Amino acid sequence: MLPESSAELIALADQIYMSSRKLTQLKRAIASLQKAVKLKPGNYKLMWRYARILSVMARYDKTRGEKWATQGKVAAAKAIKLNPKGGEGHIYHSICAGILGKYRLSEAEDLSKEALKSAVQAGNIDPAYSDGLAARIQGAIYLYAPAWPGGVGDLDEAFELLTKLVQEHPAPENFYYLAEAHRKTEQNRQAARLYRRVLKFKARGLWRVEGPLFRRRCRQHLKQLAR
């Protein structure tokens, strides 16, 4: 059973977001926010939270990632319409657009440009949000997108952004993407050093639930670099 009031529904969804990445729990958070949105359809804080949990589900549910990312992008667009000056709507619009690009290869270039534009807008509004999430997204787009003229990828931009980001926000996710930048440019010793640094971060806050995925990737990369 779900709570009845919008405040309780938000609290439940927030608690799940901070404590679990199990699909059953994420689905419960989605259902909670769907119910809350029906109670208060024009509420910005509800709508961006709905987009956020859908973006998380899109990352963790590999079999239905496109579906969740599509819904998340729609929810984020609604959040932006409700409050264009709120950074959260732009953030989760960017994340969902980026995820969709992995599924819709024929639209990947346009979606990566859309994701980058939204991330830049979010960074202009609130650059410190969630340990510099907007800049981290920009850095990831520059890292993984195809380079010009076929895409917006730019390793020099990625290095500049991510190097500055770890100085301003020394969060594990930020160090991970800087490690990725070193790995992609075959600076293997620096990459390995940064992956090991990520592994040393203690499981606190959101890193307690997001950390396992990043740590698994770090260990995989370290094994590859050791060959």
In sequence order, what DSSP letters do the residues of 92-155 get, joined into one string?
Answer: HHHHHHHHHHHH-GGGHHHHHHHHHHHHHHHHHH-TTHHHHHHHHHHHHHHHHSPBTTTS-B-H
Residue 227 predicted with pLDDT over 90 = no
Mean pLDDT of the chain: 96
CA 143 distance to own-chain centroid: 14
Q: Over 90: is that where the pLDDT of 86 sits? A: yes
Query: CA nearest 86: which of 40, 36, 37, 52?
Result: 52
Angle at the Cα of 151 from the Cα atoms of 98 and 195, rounded to 5 degrees? 60
> What pLDDT band is residue 149 in, cutting at 50, 70 and 90?
confident
pLDDT of 151 > 90? The answer is no
| pLDDT of the residue at 148 | 84
| Domains within the chain, CATH numbers bracketed | 6-159 (1.25.40.10), 170-227 (no CATH)
In this prediction, residue 150 carries a pLDDT of 79
Q: Are 59 and 99 within 8 A, CB to CB?
A: yes
Q: What is the pTM of this model?
A: 0.94
Q: Rounded to the nearest 5°, which phi and psi values hold at 153?
A: -60, 140
Q: What is the pLDDT of residue 25?
A: 98
Q: How far is CA 136 from CA 11, 56, 143, 152, 219, in A?
A: 27, 16, 10, 15, 21
CA 121 to chain centre: 15
- Provide the token pair at 80: 């932006």
Q: Is the pLDDT of residue 56 over 90?
A: yes
